[in-house]
Structures are given as structure tokens and as C-alpha cells.
Amino acid sequence: MTASERFDPVTFLEAAVATPSHEDPAEMRELLVETLESRGIEARVDEAGNTLAVRDSGREGPHVVLNTHIDTVPPHVPFSRDGDVIRGRGACDAKGPLAALLAAFFGAAVERGRVSLAVTPDEETGSTGAHALSFDPVPDAVVVGEPTELDVCNAAKGRFQATVTVEGENAHAAEPHEGVNAIRAAGDLLAAFDTFDDRDDSPGVHDALGAPTLTPTTVAGGDATNQVPATCSVVVDRRSVPPETAKGFRSSLEAHLRGRAPEDAGVSVSLAERDTPFLEAWETPADAEVVRALADASGGAVRPFTAATEAAYFAAVAPTVVFGPGGLADDEGAVAHAPREYVRISAVERAAEAVEAALDALLG
């Protein structure tokens, strides 16, 4: 195969969806590396498992990074094709976007500056690959491939996870007044979650992202059926908006709950342990060059993305957008991460054309 031959994103996508990457991305990474090298592009895998490639014009100009991920959530869903539809795990999240980005990477006329491809191995879990990435020169723009229905997403809420621990005192259930029931105290505090964003120092409603949310997701407590429980824990999911940080959220929630807990119950809040920073909220101005170029090329709306992605890391250093074929859900329900995951071939091809046109506009 020569570099002058047009890359077929559909053939690559069929092979990619048929390649399981829900437990180990190694086989999928091998496919990606082989695809790059077959077109004369040097591919490098760094210590964090990122697959990296560059097309450099040798002339001064912008540096645009194309990013997505090769890992998927379990379980693996086998590949199938029915007309315009490709089904299987990763079809839209995010092997469909990867196929489109690859086509644009190969096809763009890089007349100045450079375009880099940076594909991460663990976006669905720890994001250690994305956190380890560094670029020289620093990017001027980043396009992150995710299923956005061909809309150009220039912002997203962050996602934090914390555990609220309520401490009471054990007693025999026959004499409940002799103890402090941590489960009952935690139950009383559930209503306080709903008033958390009514406080004076709340980040409030963001112009693009709307209001932050705080959702209790799991509850655990008690050791015996005839004993007043001394501890109860509630895991909460926080979808943040700027300028809230993970540390600021933790301290604010702890203070809010302590002020509403029974006097004889203790309350503490701890963030989930991670090897990498939490994905915080981000926003790229709608008039940024990369946003305009991709919106003009795709015809898609400019709007926020509804899920947290590794774009949060890149947006801290360069104007960033999230873009790709497929959607997180459709009129029938969930698509990404669901047993019915699919993407339309026509959408993959349109996404490839749009990203290539945007690159031509930025690097031509």
C-alpha cells in the first residue's frame, strides 16, 4: 500500500470492532500500529501504552493533535454489519471515531505545521495513558474522537466520585436509644445532597453546561441484623461545572453535610483513590479557530458533550473539541456501552471528511 492510496475507514473499522479490547488493548494496538506502518507512517508506543504518530510539514505552523482511545468497556459484543450499520463493542465508542480520525490523519494536506495522532489505551478506566502524554511543541488545537452525532462539542462537565462516611455508635437493636444509628443519620442527610448547590459559594448554573449535579449511587452500612450500625457510607457522583475542582468539591460537601448532621454523628468525605487527576469541567470558546473550522466542515451544532472524557486533560493546554460519528444514545435508548452499540458507515465517512477538511483549513 502506498501513502497516495485513499484510506478506507470502513475496512479498518470492521477489523477494529472484531478485535476485542475490553480486557487488554494489546491486540487492538497492534492493529493500529500495523495500519500506520502499512502507509509509511512511523508509529511509536510509549511507556504508558499510547500509540503516537506524526505528519510534519517541516514548515512553521500550527500543531493539531487528534486523540481517541482503543479500550472498550466489557463485555465484548461481536462485530456484525447490516447495510449502513456496523454493530459491536466499540463501534461508536470509540473505534468509529478512531477510523474517522485515521482517515483524516492520512488524507489531510499538511502544508504547514504538523498533525499528531495520540491514541490512548485506558480511557474507560484510569486514563493513565492520557495523563502521561506530553507534546513538543505544545498543541495549538486538539480534536478528541467520541460519539457526538457529528456535533462539535466545545465543553463538558467534570466527573468526581466521593464517599460520604457517617459514624455513629453500636448498640443492641433491642436498646436502639443506647447507640447512634449511622444508617438513620445517613438517611436524614440524603435531603442535604439536594440543597448542596443552594449554598452561597456554589459554582451556580454555567452558561453552556447548566447546573452541576450530585447523585448518591450506592449505600453500604451495618454488620449485623440485630445491631445498631456504627457506620454507613454513601458513594456520590458529582458532575461539575467550572470553576469547581475536585478538592474544592470535597471540602465544600463535607462542610455542608457536617452542618446538617445530627450532633452525635460524625461525617467525613473522601475522594475516590485515583492514580491520575479527576476529569474536571472544561470549555473552549465557541469562536476558537478549531471550533469554527470543524463546525464549518461538518455542519454540526456547537454544544457541550454530556459525558466526561480525557478531553479534560487536553483542554488545560490547548483549545479542544470532542467530535465523532455515532451517539451515546438514540430514540430507543442507550447505544454506547450498551449491548446494541452501533455506528452508521455514512456517519463515519462524513466524520472523516469533516476532520480532514478542518485540518486542511488549519494546516493548509
- From 242, 224, 223, 222, select the one nearest 232 (Cα to Cα): 222
Tens-digit pLDDT profile for residues 304-346: 999 999 999 999 999 999 999 999 999 999 999 999 999 999 9
Query: Is 47 among the residues known to form the active site?
Result: no
Averaged pLDDT of the chain = 96
For residue 9, name the pLDDT band (cuts at 50, 70, 90): very high
- From 157, 139, 152, 156, select the one nearest 291 (Cα to Cα): 152
Q: Where are the beta strands (DSSP E) in the chain?
A: 44-45, 51-56, 63-69, 80-82, 85-87, 114-120, 141-145, 152-156, 158-167, 171-172, 213-221, 227-228, 231-240, 266-271, 282-283, 302-305, 320-323, 329-330, 333-334, 342-344
Which domains can be identified in the chain, with CATH numbers? 9-156+281-363 (3.40.630.10), 158-271 (3.30.70.360)
pLDDT at 2: 44
Residue 69 cell numbers, joined: 482511545
In this structure, what DSSP letter does residue 198 have? G
How many helices, marked H, and strands, marked E, lie in the chain? Answer: 9, 20
Computed on alpha carbons and rounded to an integer, the radius of gyration of the chain in Å comes to 23
Tens-digit pLDDT profile for residues 255-282: 999 999 999 999 999 999 999 999 999 9
pLDDT at 5: 76
Residue 175 cell numbers, joined: 436498646
Catalytic residue among 123, 146, 341, 349: 123
For residue 6, name the pLDDT band (cuts at 50, 70, 90): confident
Tens-digit pLDDT profile for residues 121-158: 999 999 999 999 999 999 999 999 999 999 999 999 99
Quote the CA–CA distance of 157 and 174 in Å, as a whole number. 47
